Amino acid sequence: MTATLLTNLRIWNGEDLSPADALRLSGGCIAAVGDGAELAAGHRGRSMDCGGLTAVPGLIDAHVHLELNPDHRKAPEKQAGEDRLPQMAERAEAMLRAGITTGRDLGGGAWLELNIRDRINAGELLGPRLLCAGQPITSVGGHCHFWGGEAADALQAEAVLRRQVARKVDLIKVMATGGVMTASSKPLNPQFDLPTLTQIVGLAEDHGLSVAAHCHGTEGIRIAAEAGVRTIEHCSWVGKDGWASDYRPEVAATVAARGTWVSPTISRGWQRFLDNPETKTLGRIQGAFSDMLARKVPLIASTDAGIPGVYHHQLPLALPVFAQIAGLTPAQALRSATSAAADALGIDKITGRLQPGLAADLILVHGNPLTDLSALAEPAAVWARGIAVKAPE
């Protein structure tokens, strides 16, 4: 792979604005970050003047479902077949071209997303680096039971987990509460007690795997945090009066104390709350985020791509909405989709920052996303693992 020198850049490295103005990419990695004139000395590869574009790490969407078609309004009624693979490959490529260089797939029924992951890794398909959970562990008739991960007790949950390990998943997903798309479950209700979920987390750790827990209801959030899951998905604080109606500071304190990451799955569709600022729901949601941030609960960007109306390539459009909903600065929102997400997903030694030795996952954008996140919407260039998916014109 020919070394490439990118000069005349503004560089945001995943943490801060860098004094450097050039990047050298080589062998799929970032070889150097520094002064353009100094890096040009002795450089024998390709050089590109980037005309003042801003470089940021490739984006990470921490919650997607490649198997799901966002144009469908209902949950699947049967296991997906291999005929869905071409559509899934198209979604993966669309993610990458939008600047999403890593995605965490949190559930499917037939391990098709692992097929896509492996073909991307082999260079057969264009797509982001994928971390895949396979079939989520759920209760009998519980949320997403149609994906085949039902368990009536801890012993059956262990069997589901071992089945995912045999398929070489990257992490384990558990449905700690019910969900919206499964009529036989309720978002408010926990699906596993603390001993069972603790056992699931421990067994996953024995296999070197973390656990992501789907949590809408507040009691499920508490159980997941106390059980030691790595990430809480949604974290909706659902009570009897709906979304964010049962925010409990003491539970948020437990989440913060355990170092549990919150992946709130805010898509661009949440603009509907901002368009109706007088609604009680928006005030409750923003109040919850305000208190969580004050308690230093760590947040990562995610969209739940694949559910109705949430498209896989739209994380760049979701980040400005996430920032407004959660009360984040542009820099905080960017970290949630780059360095912080890499930390949460355990891939910080691979990607998430623009620093020597990490993968050459980066995007170039016009303007300054530190002042206007909408700059991410149309990347001028995208590199993934050193491959130029889209080069600046």
194 phi-psi bin (left φ>0, alpha ψ -120 to 50, beta other): alpha
User: Domains in the chain and their CATH numbers?
Assistant: 4-57+352-390 (2.30.40.10), 59-345 (3.20.20.140)
Per-residue pLDDT of the chain (393 residues; tens, 9 = 90+): 689 999 999 999 999 999 999 999 999 999 999 999 999 998 989 999 999 999 999 999 999 999 999 999 887 766 778 889 999 999 999 999 999 999 999 999 999 999 999 999 999 999 999 999 999 999 999 999 999 999 999 999 999 999 999 999 999 999 999 999 898 899 999 999 999 999 999 999 999 999 999 999 999 999 999 999 999 999 999 999 999 999 999 999 999 999 999 999 999 999 999 998 888 999 999 999 999 999 999 999 999 999 999 999 999 999 999 999 999 999 999 999 999 999 999 999 999 999 999 999 999 999 999 999 999 999 999 999 999 999 887
Strand-strand pairing, 231-238 and 211-217 = parallel
| C-alpha neighbours within 13 Å on the C-beta side of residue 57 | 33
3-state secondary structure of 87: helix
C-alpha 360/C-alpha 25 separation (Å) is 6
DSSP states of 11-76: EB-SSSB-S--EEEEETTEEEEEE-HHHHHTT--SEEEE-TTPEEEEPEEEEEE-TTS-TT--S--
C-alpha 107/C-alpha 129 separation (Å) is 16
C-alpha 294/C-alpha 282 separation (Å) is 18
